[in-house]
C-alpha cells in the first residue's frame, strides 16, 4: 500500500470508511500535525518511563484513541 501524508489533500486514498473529505485549511493541517506530534511524544515518554505491561498497553491505546478523536475534531 502506498503511503499518503495525513496533511495531504490526497489522504482519501487509504481510508475505506470515509469516502468524502473536505479540503483542510493550512491552520487545520498545522493543528492536526501538532496534535499528532504531541501524541507521538507521549508514546515516547511511555516507552522511556513505563514498565511493560497491561497498564502501559492501556495507556498507549488510550493516548492513540485521544489523538484519533482530536484529529477527528479538527478535520470533522
* More confident position, 14 or 59: 59
58 vs 14: CA distance, rounded Å? 26
In a domain, 14, yes or no: no
Give residue 52's pLDDT.
96
In a domain, 3, yes or no: no
In this prediction, what percent of the chain has a pLDDT beyond 70? Answer: 78
pLDDT in tens, 8-45: 766 666 566 666 777 889 999 999 999 999 999 999 99
> What is the domain count for the chain?
1
* More confidently predicted of 64 and 16: 64
pTM recorded for the entire structure:
0.76
Contact 4, 10 (CB under 8 A): yes
> What residues make up the domain containing 29?
24-75
Instruction: Report which secondary-structure segment, H or E, holds 68.
Output: helix 54-75
56 belongs to a structural domain = yes
Amino acid at each position: 500500500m502506498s503511503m499518503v501524508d495525513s496533511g495531504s489533500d490526497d489522504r482519501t486514498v487509504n481510508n475505506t470508511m470515509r469516502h468524502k473529505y473536505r479540503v483542510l485549511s493550512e491552520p487545520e493541517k498545522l493543528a492536526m500535525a501538532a496534535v499528532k506530534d504531541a501524541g507521538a511524544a507521549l508514546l515516547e515518554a511511555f516507552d522511556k518511563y513505563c514498565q511493560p505491561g497491561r497498564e502501559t498497553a492501556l495507556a498507549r491505546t488510550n493516548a492513540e484513541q485521544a489523538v484519533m478523536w482530536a484529529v477527528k475534531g479538527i478535520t470533522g
